[in-house]
Structure 1
């Protein structure tokens, strides 16, 4: 799983770069024709990874219930985020993956509640969840690239 975690970290480093290279206004902007913005997509991948890996393993997530409610599937930006809120998201990008890898190595993920994703593929264990998460994050990286071109 080292390779899989490595891919996740590389993607997360790209996302950190988007935060560092864009203004607060750009991160919050919902361009015409879009339903969300760059920072929503970034926060969404954090929440989704936590739900797929920790929640479905019956473990406490590393993000708040409020964050889950704001960025889970089916949500969209309700208001502009402050710089301090974006700083929290930026910190979570790397820390959540480092902690997930640490917990995986420790054998923390003992059970998994099977879950069928929107593509109709069923995740049977935490390894499949971690691997699927990379696909999901790749999709949202594509959305972010499209959003960036629309700024």
Structure 2
């Protein structure tokens, strides 16, 4: 079943994954001067937040690889890492599988109410699966833009 929100979420995820595939592993680990995070962190962060909004908050089974929350939750940064992060390729595989789970698990439950409703740190309240996925479109696009910005800084260094 096709749905605009799921389609748009898939679109921005594909754009991100296709873009980062061409970035070298070395470049994906560079933290440009003045920034806190690198491309790897942004990809892992997208995965962690997506798991929370698409699966945890909807009552579905999550797939949180070991140490992902420690590495990629809001407020974390590579300079604090004391464990080896996953590779760009590993995260890309997880991001691809994650969208497949949305399509198979959530696409038929979009209008379902979530309980309890979720109030974000910015004061927005989400009450349905579709609303949570709608937020993820914004979140994914914001981090895609950040990734492109980081790559542009690296290219111009």
Does residue 150 of structure 2 align to residue 147 of structure 1? yes
Asked whether the equivalents of residues 6 and 107 of structure 2 are also in contact (C-alpha less than 8 Å), the reply is no
Q: Write the distance in 1 (CA, Å) between the matches of 2:66 and 2:60.
A: 13
SS in 1 for 2:122: coil
Aligned equivalent of 1:54: 55
Aligned length in residues: 150
Aligned to 1:41: 42
CA contact (8 A) 1:28 1:80 kept: no
Q: Which consecutive residues of structure 2, in runs of 5 or more, have no partner in the other structure?
A: none
| Aligned CA distance change for structure 1 residues 81 and 23 (closer, same or farther; 3 Å) | farther
Report the CA distance between 1:99 and its aligned residue. 0.9
Q: State the match for 1:2 in structure 2.
A: 3
Deviations 1:10-42 (A, max 9, x none): 212222223321111100100001000111111
CA distance in 2, matches of 1:4, 1:105: 9
1:21 corresponds to 2:12: no
- 2:105 pairs, out of 103, 106, 109, with 103
Q: Is the 8 A contact 2:114 2:127 kept in 1?
A: no
Q: Post-superposition shift, 1:90?
A: 0.7
> 1:51-83, CA deviations, whole angstroms, 9 ceiling, x for partnerless residues?
01211123321232521221111111227967x
Q: Which has the higher helix share?
A: 1
TM-score, structure 1 length as denominator? 0.86
Change (3 A) 1:99 1:25: same
Q: Over the residues paired in the alignment, what is the CA RMSD in angstroms?
A: 2.3
